[in-house]
């Protein structure tokens, strides 16, 4: 795993060990950031179900104003903190140990871009999509990584699916506000 571009380009990141974490491949990560490339700079980014934190770190490297990393695994969050130290991006980051759905349900922060990649086949993605729109800024993007066979709802609050991309067994689904053009 590495940071693809931006201020920390080429920096290697560490990943939690074991079967609990399934890091987004560099190919899929590069595709996600190609999709939103002109929407990252100066924005607030949520890396939900953060794992290693690589998606939020990539966003910070590309100029995001801030990133919040949420995971319920203390071990994963230790890795996120180490990766933030490796990249020197900790000053624009907040690391929160919490159940993502519970965090979103009581969150007072607002986000421009949210990346959701929960453990597969546990219903966590659908649960998060029910509460996430309340903390999203209008004109924002919700990006979901999920198994290709999993069907997501067409709408999440006032966000609708704009586009889906398939990468083998993985699907990236992008939601944006109903009045947002592009993608």
Domain range list for the chain: 26-177
- The whole-angstrom distance between residue 117's C-alpha and the CA centroid of its chain comes to 7
Asked if the model's pLDDT at residue 123 lies above 70, the reply is: yes
Token pair recorded at residue 116 = 């959701």
Give the model's confidence band at 183: pLDDT under 50 very low, under 70 low, under 90 confident, else very high.
low
pLDDT of residue 182: 59
pLDDT of residue 78: 96
- Those residues whose C-beta lies under 8 Å from the C-beta of residue 53, and which sit 6 or more positions away, are 13, 47, 69, 79, 80, 83, 84, 95
Question: 127-162, pLDDT tens digit by residue?
Answer: 999 999 999 998 899 999 999 999 999 999 999 999
Question: 161-178, pLDDT tens digit by residue?
Answer: 999 999 999 999 999 986
Give the model's confidence band at 17: pLDDT under 50 very low, under 70 low, under 90 confident, else very high.
confident
Asked if the model's pLDDT at residue 180 lies above 70, the reply is: no
Domain at 26-177: CATH architecture = 3-Layer(aba) Sandwich (3.40)
Give the model's confidence band at 19: pLDDT under 50 very low, under 70 low, under 90 confident, else very high.
low
Helix (H) or strand (E) segment spanning residue 29: helix 26-35
Mean per-residue pLDDT for 95-102? 98
Mean per-residue pLDDT for 9-23? 82
């Amino acid at each position: 795993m590495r940071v693809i571009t931006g201020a920390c380009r080429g920096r290697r990141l560490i990943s939690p060990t074991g079967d609990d974490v399934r890091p987004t491949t560099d190919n899929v990560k590069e595709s996600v950031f190609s999709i939103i490339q002109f929407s990252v700079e100066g924005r607030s980014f949520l890396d939900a179900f953060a794992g290693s934190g690589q998606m939020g770190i990539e966003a910070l490297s590309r100029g995001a104003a801030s990133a919040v990393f949420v995971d319920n695994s203390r071990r994963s969050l230790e890795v996120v903190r180490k990766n933030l130290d490796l990249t020197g991006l900790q000053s624009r980051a907040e690391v929160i140990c919490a159940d993502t759905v519970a965090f979103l349900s009581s969150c007072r922060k607002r986000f421009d871009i949210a990346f959701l990649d929960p453990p597969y086949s546990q219903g966590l993605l659908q649960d998060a999509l029910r509460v996430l729109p309340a903390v999203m800024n209008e004109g924002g993007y919700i990006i979901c990584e999920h198994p290709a066979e999993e069907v997501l709802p067409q709408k999440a609050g006032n966000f609708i699916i704009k586009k889906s991309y398939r990468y083998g067994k993985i699907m990236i689904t992008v939601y944006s506000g109903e009045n947002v053009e592009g993608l």
